[in-house]
Structure 1
Amino acid sequence: MLETARNTRTHGRRDLVTELLGLWLVLAVFLDGWAHLNLPSLETFFTPWHAALYSGMLATAAWTAVVIFRNREPGQPLVQAIPPGYRGTVVGLILFATAGGLDLLWHELLGIEVSLDALVSPTHLLLGFSLFLILGTAVRSARASHSASPDGSPALTPAALFAVVLMTGLGAFFLIYVSAFVRPGPTALFVPTPVGSPGRVQSELPVVVTLASYLLTTLLIIAPFLFMLSVAQRPARGVVTMLVAAAAWLPVAMLGFRTYSIAGAAGATIAAVAADLLLARLPETWLRRRLPAVTGGIAAVLWTGQLVAFAVTDAIRWPVSLWLGAVVLSTAVAAGLALLASWGPAGSAAPARPVPDSAAR
């Protein structure tokens, strides 16, 4: 048992270093995204922002090589020396190198993207997929340790928690065009136009996009929350705040800290802190049995916090039916996602934990 605990601590430190390098990569991605969106004169692949990203990848590759060599036993093939959870990391590094070369070729042939097309460029999406594989290292490592654990302890290590937050941030990067944190939202003037009136579609389009942004941003926050809850007895302290910070503040910084974005992100963050305080007081049995109510409540609190911040710092110019409907829809999506995640045969019970040898004797 002592040896198992020592190995767990060692692997936890190793995975934490990997995820700290992942933080370097995520910040470099947002920095590069800022350059693409704010420097329209960008006309070359060789930029300081690409240098930050690719140097981070080289550092991650070097660290992964160290991890593999440290884990290798004399005479053991390198492939077999890759620790559990790090095979996906190696695949991600290879894919990133491949995508980087393709991205260079893409830019040389087709030029540099300077707007929305930079987020959906095929080579950038391949880079993003490889980054997800790398950022997920601690999650895979924790799951492998959990499978081998004799006491069935939860698999949510601090490094794995950090990994999920980083992946949420990376998801926010690629979905920034449908983020509820980067739009004026309910502060923008909207005058309802009757069906058939000229210009109705144009006047409603910003509202339609904003409503879709609320739903997708809710999914971006609630899905990782449900994942972490599926591998731990209780949600980690501050988990909602960490997820909201990743989903809100990184995109807000990437677009240049616009006033309405700062207000909305601050309101949602304060609401997230309140949600975490309430979660800490919930009994575990109630948390499990009322999970749709919990996630629906989180969504309602977050977006209400954002709306209050909008009202205090500027004004809400949407009709009450629209802004209140956005909160209700987001609450329903969050509750429905939890319902699907917890769906199971009627009367089914949670799997029993393995009985320790001492108790069995």
Structure 2
Amino acid sequence: MTALLGVWFGIGLMIDAWAHTNLAELETFFTPWHAVFYSGFAVVSGWIIWQVWRNVRAGRQGPAAVPFGYLAGLLAVPAFAFFGLIDMLWHTVLGIETSLDILFSPSHLGLIVTMLLIITTPLRSAWNAPDVGAQPSLGRLLPALIGLAFATTLVSLFLSYGDAMQYRPVRIVEAFSAVNEPGADRLALAMVVTNIILLSPVLLLARRWLLPFGSVTVMYTLAVLMPGAQTEFKNVPVLVSFVVAGLVSDLLIRWLRPTGERRAAYWTFAGLSGLATWSLYIGIASATGGGLPTVPELWTGAPIIAGLIGLALGALFLPNAAGSEKTTPDTADDTADGTAGAAPRTVDAERA
């Protein structure tokens, strides 16, 4: 339920992002898209608060009344409301942003950080839940996947100036057909930024669980919705390339079985996933955008760089196999049976 209501919240932000990107005349804070966005916040925050209140009525007190993994989201609810008020005052005094400045507004940055904490509540709930296990089913992990995927869209939104998913096929071909134009530099940099944004959440999950087939496809399908909304889905072939890349990444997971205990497989997956994603990006753009770019070094080398960055991310996320990490006294009981030790369940969840 928390994940489903978070979808309402996230879709509301996408509608608002579409409006700010594509509508030139925005003169008021009180708009239909703000209504969808803030009503999404109201329902998901109301649900979180209700869960805590229900536990209080059942006799739980203090942190014990907060459901497993919900503490950060609960604390973010009043913070988001505060930044929403600041945002309304900001727009009233300074007007409505419709360009790059919207991504640097302090009130918007406050909203996006607190929203990220709220929308990732299902992920924190699942992280150490005793019924999830090391190899969860897709259905059991789906709320966590949805929460983290929408969090990824928030990051991509506020790094839109470096988002390769917003390029159209023709523009990709044109950019990599000239080395003396700024288009090639911008696209190459956008590919690096987007590669990190997309792959990092997948590697975070793969370090924790052996991901069930379909996990990356679900995440990448949701991730393309934000750039799709911003471009009014005028670059569908490029967006489809990422959905296909998610499927390829799922096949790589089934083949390599990367986990925190299998460092070599984890690193291999990280590199091959990046290479495959951006090879598909260039390939599908070329097939639908008028042919291969004319500078072979660019269109052949860019996916290789993406693969190397993926490998570097893999090494950063998992420098040592999980089984070789030292177990501290505070976590000795946790590693023995996969559940929390003597400390309260909620505190352990937030610490994790």
CA distance in 1, matches of 2:269, 2:320: 18
Name the structure 1 match of 2:87: 103
Change in 2 beyond 3 A, CA 1:311/1:287: farther
For the pair shown, the structure with the greater C-alpha radius of gyration is 1
Contact 1:172 1:246 in 2 (8 A): no
Contact 1:186 1:318 in 2 (8 A): no
1:1-361 matches, cutoff 5 A: 17-73=1-57, 76-77=60-61, 80-146=64-130, 157-184=141-168, 185-189=171-175, 190-193=177-180, 203-204=181-182, 206-232=183-209, 234-258=210-234, 261-283=235-257, 288-315=263-290, 316-344=292-320, 348=324, 354=336
Contact 2:270 2:310 in 1 (8 A): yes
Which secondary structure does the structure 2 equivalent of 1:19 belong to?
Answer: helix
**TM-score when normalising by structure 1:** 0.81
Amino-acid identity (%): 30
Contact 2:9 2:37 in 1 (8 A): yes
- Structure with higher RCO (Cα < 8 A, 6+ apart): 2
Contact 1:220 1:247 in 2 (8 A): no
The alpha-carbon deviation at position 106 of structure 1 amounts to 0.4
**TM-score when normalising by structure 2:** 0.83
The one-letter code sitting in structure 1 at the alignment partner of 2:82 is: T
Give the stretch that moved more between structures: 303-312 or 344-353.
344-353
Contact 1:229 1:235 in 2 (8 A): yes
Q: Deviations over 1:283-302 (max 9, x none)?
A: 56896423222111111111
CA distance in 2, matches of 1:42, 1:216: 30
The alpha-carbon deviation at position 192 of structure 1 amounts to 3.2
The alpha-carbon deviation at position 122 of structure 1 amounts to 1.0
Contact 1:186 1:323 in 2 (8 A): no
CA distance in 2, matches of 1:314, 1:41: 32
Which secondary structure does the structure 2 equivalent of 1:343 belong to?
Answer: coil
The alpha-carbon deviation at position 60 of structure 1 amounts to 1.5
Change in 2 beyond 3 A, CA 1:161/1:300: same
Change in 2 beyond 3 A, CA 1:48/1:181: same
Contact 1:73 1:81 in 2 (8 A): no
The one-letter code sitting in structure 2 at the alignment partner of 1:89 is: G
CA distance in 2, matches of 1:116, 1:284: 39
CA distance in 2, matches of 1:104, 1:231: 40
The alpha-carbon deviation at position 154 of structure 1 amounts to 6.5
Change in 2 beyond 3 A, CA 1:283/1:172: closer
RMSD: 2.8
CA distance in 2, matches of 1:322, 1:173: 26
Contact 2:164 2:187 in 1 (8 A): yes
The alpha-carbon deviation at position 255 of structure 1 amounts to 1.5
**Structure 1 gap ranges (5+):** 1-16, 194-202, 357-361
CA distance in 2, matches of 1:337, 1:34: 31
The one-letter code sitting in structure 2 at the alignment partner of 1:244 is: Y
CA distance in 2, matches of 1:349, 1:77: 35
Change in 2 beyond 3 A, CA 1:105/1:305: same
The one-letter code sitting in structure 1 at the alignment partner of 2:288 is: T
Which secondary structure does the structure 2 equivalent of 1:145 belong to?
Answer: coil
Contact 1:68 1:78 in 2 (8 A): no
CA distance in 2, matches of 1:225, 1:249: 17
The alpha-carbon deviation at position 124 of structure 1 amounts to 0.7
Change in 2 beyond 3 A, CA 1:152/1:308: closer
CA distance in 2, matches of 1:347, 1:70: 39
The alpha-carbon deviation at position 136 of structure 1 amounts to 1.6
Change in 2 beyond 3 A, CA 1:347/1:56: closer
Name the structure 1 match of 2:344: none
**Structure 2 gap ranges (5+):** 339-352
The alpha-carbon deviation at position 79 of structure 1 amounts to 6.0
